Structure 1
Amino acid sequence: MHAPATPIDIDLLIEARWIIPVEPAGQVLEHHAVAVRDGRILELLPSDQARQRYRPGQLRTLGDHVLIPGLVNLHAHAAMNLLRGYADDLPLMRWLTERIWPAEQKHVSHDFVRDGTLLACAEMLRGGVTTFSDMYFFPDAAAEAALEAGMRAALGVVVLEFPSAWASDADQYLSKGLAVRDRFKHEPLLHFTLAPHAPYTVSDATFERIRTLAEQLSLPIHMHVHETGEEIERSLSEHGVRPLERLHRLGLVGPELIAVHAVHLDEGDVALLARQGASVAHCPTSNMKLASGASPLPALIAAGVNAGLGSDGVASNNRLDLFQEMRHAGLMAKLTSGDAAALPAEQLLHMATLGGARALGIEHETGSIRPGKSADLCAISLDEAETRPCYSPLSHLVYAAGREHVTDVWVAGIARVAQGNLLHLHNNELKARARLWQNQVAL
């Protein structure tokens, strides 16, 4: 007879009633466990086997919970948490020109961005988001906030042709943003993108420079594209082609492109995105709130376009809530396509996790529960009256549960939320900072 094997020492063992690893697609495991060592997933296996094989420094047993990969918010303007509810009930261009841009010109600073991003990180972590892709000024301040919160972030090197408190012209936006990347590029939780604001705010010459930098530095290009009908008309008037075709001619439509919103697409646009391997960041709540329109998401998915979900900023959404985005994306797709089978729950969870990670080029690191990946994980309780009975935990994640049911969140194996409570950020301090900024902005 062989002697029993000596248990392997690990840092953390998480047992759950259900685990949905996202890879392979559609799999729902019952009574399984995730073994974590040095911040990475060591193994996913049945709970009874895990108890015999491993000796964890910490054991977390989740009763009627579902464990999923941490959610990936593919498009946010995190610091705009300080402008929540500031410019409601306006269409996009009036929202920008009459309210948002003037407020930003007056108030945005390093401290504004740091405090606003910290507030956003607290909201996202409590809602199960472990990674966010940000597009805003002062990315150095956003980096400091993300590191303090212990979140994974892809920070955009924002580019515009007009001045702001951060930079005076496109050259300075690029030089300052790339200097931030150089400063933080060795931080394992931080990633970077090139983030030209939109085709209507960036020149051809700047786009050509961005294309070269993307190729040289292997960085994604994160950009608002085809958000409104007005944007299409303006491009046709000024350039003679639709914005996506203009970007294509400039060499920017490829696997590195994350086309944010992508609402007003015709069949040629969809085919171009699919053929070139681009990704789309779908922001259904913001698109509805600004009356921008409904993205042809089912057609994009059918064509093979990779898609993730984004919240946009809270000034045009009011919540950084990926559960809401999954639900709204699914319901909008069914409504606009006339097909009740459009975008099933499995596809929506993929968009909120692995789809976003793939768009950012970090799918080797996060987005699914697989050995070798970072232990970015989220636990959701399905043990409440409003989540009973539960015939399908996958369905419940989209159609019944919400961010209020998130109990535990880990980033790189470190607990950031436990039993619904933030562990490394202090609510009273965050609320005090929010009050101070509210008093300034409201003047």
Structure 2
Amino acid sequence: MKADWIISHAFVLTMEGKGVGMIENGAIAVKGDTILAVGPTEEIGKAYQAERMIDGTGKLVMPGLIDAHMHTGLAIFRGMAQDMSHWMQKGLWPLMQNTKKHEALAGSLMAIIEGVKAGTTTFCDYDHSMNEIVEHYVKVGVRARVAETVNELPDDMGLVPVGELYPLDPAIGQRKLSANMQLYEKWHGQANGRITCLFGPQGPDMMRTELMLEVKALAEKYDTRIHMHVAQGDREIDQMLKRYGKRSIPFLEEIGYLDSRLMAVHLTEATKEEAQLVAKRGASMIFCAGSIGIIDGLVPPILDFLEAGGQAALGSDQAPGNNCHNMFNEMKFAAILNKVKRSDPTVFPAWLSLRLATIESAKAIGLEKEIGSLRAGKKADMIILTMQDPGLAPIYTNPVRNIVPNLVYAARGHEVETVIVDGRFIMENRQLMTVDEKEALKKAQEAAEEISRRSQRDIAASNSDIYHMMSEGYL
């Protein structure tokens, strides 16, 4: 049978079955946007021929990584909100209110490029101006599950004192929901189905119940999912108690929000019982280990959630406080932080981290029929890594393989040589094929300089920890 291309003689992690599905001398045959076959090199070589043959000796092929939660427009503020308390109010908001749309868009493209170069092929992006950001995904050629951020907050939230009840404006909420509807109607299913759209309420503390219920009704009408922060911090719980007299998760249970449509992000402040309830109701959990570890100094109850039978995924969240969109970083953080939290080196093994960035993530975001593992009939979304790197060498295959632990605990992303989405090579030999990386970084730097100039007064007024560090010469 004729294929478009075949890679052979590689280590292949299929992520099929209950583990990683390793084939040590494996091959993959692809035609168009679809995988024809996966198996031992000898078997695939007998059954398929192709004009392009790729020698995978010394390389590893695996499903493209899935970043299940991120805000790419915030990448223009990379490194501006860590090592501080009230990172959102004192770090982000003074910058956001001084940022123009084209500047946030420049940050978004930079973040997408970063993710691709570290092996991410599917991006669950959740941001403002998504009707424009989505065009980056189409151009770069990756898969994206996108949502417009919907809330009822005014643009000058940086002026609201920490702890004061958020001022909610229904007109703002309707405008943002309209933008989410426009996103769905224009982009859902576009780019050969690579673009799919969700609804994105920012959090139960940032909008009225009426708007939340309107969003849920729309998600049911269009048969899609809801991407939402849930119990994301003590500030959210404080707002919920002041406004409703209930914590976030009991409130969401009361209004019927906890079901399989909900992608619940963070659960930072969830109790063990609350995490178990979310799992029991069938909602998925998105765990952003690096972000929450840095900005809150906490480890969300991901293990309690998984032990209750929940479906979970990993996400990078945001670059202002997490500082990167690199899923190898997230896999490592996820494993190590949970070992420390439980004081048990056996919990959260490397294979679990890898599954939560591939097949389990695909299930959590509702795309497991198309992506997340390598098998015949699925989309040809995969990455090729060199194993001939000091950080991944030497390779042991018997009596114990060290490939998966080294991927999770040692890989940094630069080992990814090739990125393939829908059967199309969008990065080869570390060179992006669809966008000009240098030009994108130049525009992002120019945008950052303009934001810096306009934000100086508001940043100083925020009186943040990081501002003091700078003034005292520590940064």
Give the TM-score category using the shorter length.
over 0.9
- Matched to 1:17, the amino acid is A
Letter in 2 for 1:127: A
Maintained 8 Å contact 1:16/1:66? no
Rounded to whole Å, the distance in 2 between the matches of 1:96 and 1:108 is 18
Per the TM alignment, residue 255 of structure 1 is displaced from its structure 2 partner at its CA by 0.7
1:300 to partner: Cα distance: 1.3
Contact 1:16–1:62 (8 Å) recurs in 2:
yes
1:374 is matched with 379
* 1:158-195 superposed Cα distances (whole Å, 9 cap, x missing partner): 21012449x96111111122112111123111011111
C-alpha distance in structure 1 between counterparts of 2:208 and 2:391, whole Å: 51
Q: 1:437 aligns with which of 433, 447, 455?
A: 447
How far apart are the structure 2 equivalents of 1:183 and 1:313? Answer: 26
**C-alpha distance in 1, partners of 2:147/2:7?**
33
Cα distance in 1 for residues equivalent to 2:77 and 2:56: 36
The answer to whether the 8 A contact 1:66-1:393 is kept is no
Structure 2 gap ranges (5+): 157-169, 397-401, 454-475
Query: What's 2:416 paired with?
Result: 406
CA contact (8 A) 2:314 2:330 kept: yes
CA contact (8 A) 2:11 2:26 kept: yes
Q: For the Cα contact (< 8 Å) 2:72–2:318, is it kept in 1? A: yes
**Alignment partner of 1:180 is 2:183:** yes
Residue-by-residue CA offset, 1:377-426 (whole Å, 9 max, x unaligned): 01222212222222221111111222011111100111111122212121
1:299-314 correspondence to structure 2 within 5 Å: 299-314=304-319
Counterparts of residues 8-19 of structure 1 (less than 5 Å): 8-19=1-12
DSSP-derived class of the 1:10 partner = strand
What SS does the aligned partner of 1:277 have?
A: coil
**Structure 2 CA distance for aligned equivalents of residues 86 and 150 of structure 1:** 29
Q: Which amino acid aligns with 1:158?
A: T
The aligned residue for residue 419 of structure 1 is 429
Match of 1:102 among 94, 97, 103: 94
Match of 2:78 among 84, 108, 111: 84
Q: Per-residue displacement from partner, 1:57-116 (whole Å, max 9, x unpaired)?
A: 32222222221110000110011221112233223xx3222332232222131x234322
Structure 2 partner of 1:4: none
Q: SS at 1:135's partner residue?
A: strand
Q: Would the aligned equivalents of 2:103 and 2:448 in 1 still touch at CA under 8 Å?
A: no
**CA–CA separation in structure 1 for the residues paired with 2:9 and 2:90:** 49
Read off the aligned partner of 2:315 and give its amino acid letter.
G
Cα displacement (A) at 1:435? 2.0
Aligned with 2:50 (options 52, 56, 72): 56
CA-CA distance at 1:16 after TM superposition: 4.4
Shift of 1:325: 0.4
The structure-2 alpha-carbon separation of the partners of 1:435 and 1:113, relative to structure 1 and needing over 3 Å to count, comes to closer
- Asked whether 1:123 is paired with 2:117, we answer no
Q: Is the 8 A contact 2:76 2:107 kept in 1?
A: yes
Q: Does structure 2 conserve the Cα–Cα contact (< 8 Å) formed by 1:406 and 1:420? A: yes
- The 5-angstrom pairing of residues 321-340 of structure 1 reads 321-340=326-345
Deviations 1:296-354 (A, max 9, x none): 22221111111101101111211101001000000011110122111111111110012
- The aligned amino acid for 1:175 is S
Distance in 2, matches of 1:368 and 1:430, equals 31
Residues 309 and 326 in structure 1, CA contact (< 8 A), matched pair in contact too:
yes
SS of residue in 1 equivalent to 2:358: helix
Q: Aligned equivalents of 1:400 and 1:98: distance in 2? A: 34
* RMSD over aligned Cα atoms: 1.7
**Bigger CA drift: 410-419 or 177-186?**
177-186
State the partner residue of 1:394: 404
Matched, 1:169 2:175: no
Note if contact 1:382-1:401 (Cα within 8 Å) is conserved in structure 2. Answer: no
1:97-148 CA deviation, whole Å, 9 max, x = no partner?
A: 2332232222131x23432222111111110000111111111111101111
Distance, in Å, in 1 between the alignment partners of 2:66 and 2:81 is 26
Question: For structure 1, which segment, 321-330 or 423-432, has the greater mean C-alpha deviation from structure 2 after superposition?
Answer: 423-432
**Retained in 1: the 8 A contact 2:23–2:39?**
no
5+ unaligned residues in a row in structure 1: which ranges? Answer: 1-7
**Hey, what's the Cα distance between the residues in 1 that align with 2:155 and 2:379?**
36
The amino acid of 2:44's aligned partner reads A
Structure 2 CA distance for aligned equivalents of residues 74 and 138 of structure 1: 19
Question: Identical aligned pairs, as a percentage?
Answer: 27
- So what's the TM-score if we normalise by structure 2? 0.88
